[in-house]
Amino acid sequence: MSQPALLEALLKLAGTYPSFAIERGQPVVDLLWQQERVAGVQLRDGRQLPADLVVGCDGRGSLVRQKAGLTLQSSPSPIDLLWFQLASPAASPLAGSFTTLVGPEGVFSAFESASGGLQLGWVMGKSQATPELSREGWIERMAALSPPQLAAWLREWSGGLGPPSRLTVQVGLAERWCQPGLLLLGDAAHPMGPVRAQGINMALRDAWVAARRLLPLLSSGCSGAALDGVAVQIEAERRPEITDMQTLQAAEAARGEQLRQQGWLRGALAIAAPLVGPAIAAHWSQQQQSLRQGLAPLPGPP
């Protein structure tokens, strides 16, 4: 799904509510305080917006989290990602499947982009320098790991490959997600690893729970201590799934790294695939259910 298109659709819907306003191009630069309580935000143009509750959803480098003095407890990650877009008018052989390819040259994942073509993520060691390869060099490196049909498709549409962007993988958990007048959600509260692209899924689940818990209070005019109490409840409800999901992501990443480093294991799996491939695939898919569908039930709609 195109994230810009989704955000614009949500903004259009939100714009139908008379109390909604958006300030494009005006990032928050500081928090407002009343003694020990967050009381709003200051925008880049100097304006101050008072608030009974500030919800910080500003990502893994959250300025809101830093200004509030909330500590992020980081977990070590051995990898970064190089992110590519490959534009193509022709459908790929992936047929909608999220595909990870592992071999002696490295590991990369490929999936279809909402705007056409593919998105490609190449796994890098955290301390490894970005390879200085041409577009054709990257295509050949990926094609060497791919089955024949995908390799041919990559070579055919190599001209659509854009330059890589290096994404620093950061995994962590804020020591606290809230304090009086403030609640953190999504990557601001818990930067997620890249495995199974769970960052946006967990952020949406955070937002759903927060909306279900906060809206009844806001509609009844509650503020201050009542909102703070619910913010604590939201963190308590969401934190267990996040910690469990980060554990699952780490285990899945470790399995991929084991396959990448151990050629004998890749060879053994390839030889045994005709006999035990379906059973291995079924077992792996079963293990993947929690990573794909979440671990905790969510409250129902209003």
How many domains does the chain contain in total? 2
**Closest of 61, 27, 56, 69 to residue 168, by C-alpha:** 61
Question: Domain for residue 19, yes or no?
Answer: no
Instruction: Give the pLDDT confidence score for residue 44 in this predicted structure.
Output: 96
**Residues 100 and 225 occupy one common structural domain:** no
Here the CATH number for the domain that contains residue 120 is 3.30.70
Give the angle 50-52-55 at the CA atoms, nearest 5°.
90
Question: Domain for residue 220, yes or no?
Answer: yes
d(C-alpha 224, C-alpha 51), whole Å = 10
**Residues 99 and 216 occupy one common structural domain:** no
**Residues 57 and 86 occupy one common structural domain:** no
**Residues 123 and 58 occupy one common structural domain:** no
Q: Out of 124, 152, 167, pick the residue that ends a domain.
A: 167
Question: Domain for residue 261, yes or no?
Answer: no
Instruction: Give the pLDDT confidence score for residue 69 in this predicted structure.
Output: 96
Q: Which residue has the higher pLDDT, 31 or 257?
A: 31
**Residues 42 and 97 occupy one common structural domain:** no
Instruction: Give the pLDDT confidence score for residue 13 in this predicted structure.
Output: 96
| Mean pLDDT calculated for residue range 244-264 | 78
Q: Out of 116, 138, 167, pick the residue that ends a domain.
A: 167
pLDDT at 31 over 70: yes
**Residues 126 and 245 occupy one common structural domain:** no
Q: What are phi and psi of 150, to 5 degrees?
A: -70, -40
pTM of the model: 0.84
Question: Domain for residue 186, yes or no?
Answer: yes
Question: Domain for residue 259, yes or no?
Answer: no
**Residues 60 and 92 occupy one common structural domain:** no
**Residues 88 and 160 occupy one common structural domain:** yes
Pairing of strands 106-112, 118-125: antiparallel
Instruction: Give the pLDDT confidence score for residue 285 in this predicted structure.
Output: 74
**Residues 66 and 205 occupy one common structural domain:** yes
Q: Which residue has the higher pLDDT, 268 or 5?
A: 5
What is the domain range of residue 138?
79-167
d(C-alpha 261, C-alpha 188), whole Å = 33
**Residues 83 and 159 occupy one common structural domain:** yes
In terms of Cβ atoms closer than 10 Å to its own Cβ (0-12, 13-18, 19+), residue 135 is middle
Here the CATH number for the domain that contains residue 216 is 3.50.50.60
Instruction: Give the pLDDT confidence score for residue 302 in this predicted structure.
Output: 61
What are 255-295's pLDDT values in tens digits? 777 776 677 766 777 777 777 778 777 777 777 777 777 77
pLDDT at 251 over 90: no
What are 101-135's pLDDT values in tens digits? 888 788 899 999 888 899 999 988 888 899 999 99
Cβ count near 237 (within 10 Å): 17
Question: Domain for residue 17, yes or no?
Answer: no
Average pLDDT, the chain: 89
Instruction: Give the pLDDT confidence score for residue 194 in this predicted structure.
Output: 85
| Mean pLDDT calculated for residue range 146-166 | 96
| Mean pLDDT calculated for residue range 177-195 | 95
Per-residue confidence band for 28, with pLDDT thresholds at 50, 70 and 90: very high
In terms of Cβ atoms closer than 10 Å to its own Cβ (0-12, 13-18, 19+), residue 240 is exposed
